Amino acid sequence: MNATLNISYFELTYFEKLTQDLNEDSVIHSFENIANKIRKHSKITIEMDVFYEWAEFLNELGFHYLIRYDQKRIQNLEIAISCFQKIISICNEKNFSEQWALATNNLGGAYTNRIKGNKADNIEKSIFFYKKALSVWTKENFLEDFISVMINLGGAYLNRVKGKPQNNIETAITYYKEALELCDKKTDLENWLSAMNGIGGAYIERIQGNKLENIEIALSFFEKALKEIDPNDDVFNWAWVMENLGDAYRKRIKGDRSLNFEKAIHCFQRVENTLDKKESPMEWADVMNKLGICHVERINGDSAENKEISISYYQKALEIFRKETIPLKHAKVMSNLGGAFLSRKKGEQHQNLMKAEECFNNAIEVYEKFGMLEDLALTMNNLGGLHIVKNNGHSFDEGINCFKKSLQIWKKDTHLQKWAIIMHNMGGLYNEYCGEDVYSKRLEAIRCFQKVIDNVSLESNPTLYLNASYALGNVLIELSSDNDSFLIKAEQYYDQTINGTTDIYLEISDIHARKKFLKQHRHKYKRIINFYLLHKKYEKALYWIERIRSQSFLEDIVLEYIEPSKKEFKPLTDRYWGICKKIRKLRTEISPNNYQHHLYKALAELVNEKQKLASEIKNINPQYADLINANPLTINHLHELLVKNKSAALEFYCLDELNIVHCLVISSESEKTLGYHHFKIDISESFRRAFLEFNQLFHNEIPPNLKLLENLLHESGKIMGPIWQFLNEIKIKNLYISPHDFFHAIPLHAAHINDSQNYFNDNFHCCYTPSLSLTYKLFKSKPNKGRKILSLFYAPDEKPLKAGKAEFEKITNLYEKNSVIILQNDTAKAENLIKNIEKNKNHLLMLCLICHGELDNDGTSFLVFKDRNLSSLDVKGGLDLTGVPVVVLEACETGKSNEWVKNYEEYQALDSSFLISGARSVISSFYKIDDQGTASIMNKFHEEINKGVMPFNAFYEAQKSNLVINPDLEVSVRGRMKKKTNTTPLKSNHPYYWAFMKYSGTF
């Protein structure tokens, strides 16, 4: 049987050249066989088998050009298309149908990947050809090929530009589902994996349905697929699924956001370590780009360092994705790189902005050339964001134009979420405008933000919704002087923002990620709390100060001492507290800079188990659940605390760094009501200087420069003076002092009141607390009734503590011998301490630790024992001090931390960790202390405790006794400007001897 085939000499020569250029042995061999047969025949008529071989060769040649990635990528795709079109021109569904169907399917793939021409039109052509292939590759006759085309159609609809995105994605899911229903993974694993990957990707992008649930469904598809692949046998498919799994975790809504990012990075890095850059350059570069994206958005680790890592990953991706060969992927990475430079913290801002603008413009040029409207809209939006940062008149107009161009592509009815992002950013630019007619621009900002709020829900996009809500509050307050209703609306939007932001925070289980989250959103909390205080919304302000300050404290503390009302209920509560202890211990093992998958997984499982048990407890006994929850104290709780101790509370809140401090004085006006008195304190330059000099120099100079301490206490007196006067007027003696930020590092009780010869604690009993909510929990705990003393002393020979040793020996002789447990020298080990606490915890009256204390690299103190150091994490993870009336930490700097420098809200000094572990009170030190002076006060303290005096009263009496001149105390004193050191007797009532001592917890 013969067929007509027109192949000219020039055409044969053309394909011969393509074959040689391709330089693939199998294709060269195929061409030589078919060319020899064609040359033997006439130009017009050849035998049917030769005709078939010619079509087969063209399909093979076209496919190799389709998958060929080199500097001629654009040309390669066009050659592939010409090969497949040649087959279609000489074949049809009836004659040589198999090669015709293969060519049409391949044409679909070629148009999907095509770079030349309009992207939207190319995708439409790919869909057309895939559907044409199905006229031959039917379900009944060619099942595997039919399934393959269904998967290809799913991918084409997923990337489709024309039509409504939500409809295209649903169509893609339909194709993938049909493929999976027909596919047998045992006999056709390749197609099954492709369908699982495809449908997982479609659910990540899905618009219909619940976004959270869609991503969980995607995760399940990828995880099922991974179970069927051995990475040693099928590297490519394993890497493909693992990469998609990373995408799903990066976009995941459910669970701990920081943990999801770490899982995504873990997935991508596994792929990076598996793929060979030379063998799989495209896949490798894709992973580099995704690692770059993850590090830009990462919560854990140092933010500035993450940006640098992301830039390096993007630059690696650009080694493969070159503009001349793979322009669209090049443009995508350039757009991402521009975003990284825009938010970069290192380097000069001006240079970073120039680099960012260059990257964005580079990407825009490519997207405009190839008609990539979606990507063009995104990059124009990013360029508009750059003009917000530039914030000048020329940039304002350019930025608005960028956003308007984006809105022409991302319309509300087709791209709601993306449209809302543009509206929010445009509102930000109007809000930053500082030229003429500012008022009208601010009204435009309000309209933009309001459109976001009206069209986006908190559930669908919490970050965008809350950012718009916060921005609306800010603009409304700015304009509220002309419109009182604006102030009411601003408060509503602020309420919305602070509630929603905290809900996101509470979903984060990793303590390090929580700190970073609070740091990132600190400006919101500060501005909103400042608004509440200035507008006399004191209860709201107090609630939020306590909530952000003490959330982790309250979650970590074990309230096992609160007995359930029914005995049969106790096994459930025992399980609950057992889980809580495991969580607290596990958190101490997680490093902020080292992702350890098994630890995070275990933590997530424990937190989930705790939540289930908490729900069960609440259903059975709501009153008990309310007692043990991790919420901050209520107004009723605070009233109970203050009335019981006839006390007041000083709640400090620092608004700006060393600039403005609020102090809210809360006192019980009657048995039913609380009174609030607000002090807004402007920090003077002299105080700022005194504090910085003291904080930087006093601890490092031996002998100490006492002038630094005296200056700080004098300047502190100017701040505390009005508060001191007010407290005297309302006749309050007992004070809970809850500092914030840098105030944690100041011995406020020793402030020297300027208008008198008094120090602050001459008139008041001062008890510090990292959180009033924590103090309330401790206040409700039952103190141990036992009289056992656990005392530890350790000082290496090279750093002796002579007075401390004498005090230790006095303790052993002062208390009844049977009641004192002694750990010293070789037995002064952390493990021995933990064992003895566990053994005697229900009978301990006091834990007394006399040793050296030092600050670690993070600015948090630790204790030095014989075997190892005891850190804050060790205390929270390994000690159960529930009900212990008092812990004495006779070591340097155990009551301070430099965490305030890092702008963290939650303050974690070492003494706080002992309180979280259940101790009712802790005696610690603000700074490096004098061994002799400490021993003098603490000897008196132990005498009082031995008489049965309560811990605070014993502490207060001991401090007071030191105000009597003691000629035996002597310290080296250095003048402020003198280089020479003079040793002179220093009166024992000097604050150097007692100001460092800090009592925390509850009275």
- According to DSSP, the β-strands at 734-738 and 765-768 are parallel
Cβ burial of 212 (10 Å; 0-12, 13-18, 19+) is: middle
Give the orientation angle of helix 373-390 with respect to helix 349-370, to 10 degrees.
160
Residue 551 contacts residue 506 (beta carbons within 8 Å)? yes
Spatial separation of the C-alpha atoms in residues 273 and 284, rounded to whole Å:
10
Q: Which of 752, 748, 844, 833 is nearest to 792 (CA)?
A: 833
CA separation, residue 577 to residues 508, 571, 735 (Å): 20, 10, 32
Listed in sequence order, the residues at least 6 apart from 413 whose beta carbon sits closer than 8 Å to its beta carbon are none
pLDDT at residue number 512: 65
Residue 420 contacts residue 455 (beta carbons within 8 Å)? yes
**What's the per-residue H, E or C state across 309-369?**
HHHHHHHHHHHHCCCCCCHHHHHHHHHHHHHHHHCCCCCCHHHHHHHHHHHHHHHHHHHHH
Q: Which of 752, 839, 725, 727 is nearest to 788 (CA)?
A: 839
Take residue 679 and report the two structure tokens written for it: 């002090």
List the end-to-end C-alpha distance of the chain, in Å, as a whole number: 107
pLDDT at residue number 127: 96
pTM: 0.72
Spatial separation of the C-alpha atoms in residues 898 and 907, rounded to whole Å:
9
Residue 123 contacts residue 161 (beta carbons within 8 Å)? yes
Look-up of token digits 């050009």? 65
DSSP 210-262: -HHHHHHHHHHHHHHHHHT--TTT-HHHHHHHHHHHHHHHHT--SS-HHHHHH
Q: Which residues of 374-410 are buried (b: 16+ CB within 10 A; e: fewer)?
A: bbbbbbbbbbbbbbbebeeeebbebbbebbebbbebb
Residue 62 contacts residue 84 (beta carbons within 8 Å)? yes
Spatial separation of the C-alpha atoms in residues 529 and 548, rounded to whole Å:
11
Spatial separation of the C-alpha atoms in residues 822 and 848, rounded to whole Å:
10
Helices vs strands, H then E, count in the chain: 39, 18
Distance of CA 452 to the CA centre of its chain: 24
Query: Which residue stretches of 433-510 are H helix?
Result: 438-455, 462-479, 484-506
Listed in sequence order, the residues at least 6 apart from 141 whose beta carbon sits closer than 8 Å to its beta carbon are none
- According to DSSP, the β-strands at 2-4 and 45-47 are antiparallel
Spatial separation of the C-alpha atoms in residues 664 and 674, rounded to whole Å:
12
Give the orientation angle of helix 48-66 with respect to helix 97-113, to 10 degrees.
20
Listed in sequence order, the residues at least 6 apart from 722 whose beta carbon sits closer than 8 Å to its beta carbon are 679
Q: Which of 745, 738, 742, 741 is nearest to 771 (CA)?
A: 738
Q: Which of 91, 100, 75 is nearest to 18 (CA)?
A: 75
pLDDT along the chain (1003 residues), means of 10: 49 69 68 62 52 78 81 83 84 81 93 87 94 92 93 94 91 95 89 94 91 91 93 89 95 83 94 90 94 92 92 96 89 96 92 95 92 89 90 80 93 90 94 88 96 91 93 94 88 95 78 73 91 94 87 64 67 84 74 61 81 86 75 86 89 82 90 89 92 76 72 93 93 92 90 82 93 89 90 90 86 85 92 93 92 79 91 83 93 78 63 91 85 78 92 90 58 43 62 88 93
Listed in sequence order, the residues at least 6 apart from 622 whose beta carbon sits closer than 8 Å to its beta carbon are none
State which H helix or E strand residue 766 sits in: strand 765-768
Spatial separation of the C-alpha atoms in residues 47 and 133, rounded to whole Å:
25
Listed in sequence order, the residues at least 6 apart from 707 whose beta carbon sits closer than 8 Å to its beta carbon are 975, 976
Q: Which of 378, 355, 353, 356 is nearest to 367 (CA)?
A: 378
Spatial separation of the C-alpha atoms in residues 368 and 327, rounded to whole Å:
12
Tell me the one-letter amino acid at 377.
A
Query: Which residue stretches of 67-164 are H helix?
Result: 73-90, 97-113, 119-133, 143-158
- How many Å is the Cα radius of gyration of the chain? 36
Spatial separation of the C-alpha atoms in residues 815 and 822, rounded to whole Å:
12
Spatial separation of the C-alpha atoms in residues 193 and 222, rounded to whole Å:
9
| 367-370: long-range pairs with CB below 8 Å, 24+ | 367/331, 369/327, 370/115, 370/116, 370/117, 370/118, 370/119, 370/327, 370/328
382 φ/ψ angles, rounded to the nearest 5 degrees = -65, -40
Q: Which of 664, 650, 658, 652 is nearest to 682 (CA)?
A: 658
